[in-house]
Amino acid sequence: MTIYIDSPTWPGHGRMWSHLVSDASYEELHAFAEALGCPRRAFDRDHYDLPSARYETAVAAGAREVGSKELLRRLTEAGLRRPKRRGPQAEGTRQSEQPSPCRS
């Protein structure tokens, strides 16, 4: 049971972001994120969006640094991947929401 984090290379809302995932359960992921001070609203389907300012804190707390492809592979192999819905129903679902940062 491990928490994984990719490098903060994902732009959005004027910041760079990482993804935080678990290879065991969402409960493990939520507990880890809560210990970091991340609000539950930063959870997006199967991962937490973590701003670059919180990257080192997550690693110091035990998150294992991996590349984005490795992170996705671990998440998928664990059966925890929840892909975005495609099509008309999915349009506009996240774009209108405010950013959901893990506070820095």
8-60: pLDDT as tens digits: 998 999 999 999 999 999 999 999 999 999 999 999 888 999 999 999 999 99
Q: Which domain holds residue 50?
A: 3-82
What pTM value is reported for the model? 0.78
- What is the count of structural domains for the chain? 1
Position 68 in a domain: yes
For residues 23 and 77, what is the distance between their CA atoms, to the nearest angstrom? Answer: 8
Asked whether residue 104 is domain-assigned, the answer is: no
Residue 93 lies in a domain: no
Q: Which DSSP category does 14 fall into?
A: T
Q: Which of 22, 94, 10 is nearest to 52 (CA)?
A: 10
Residue 55, domain member (yes or no): yes
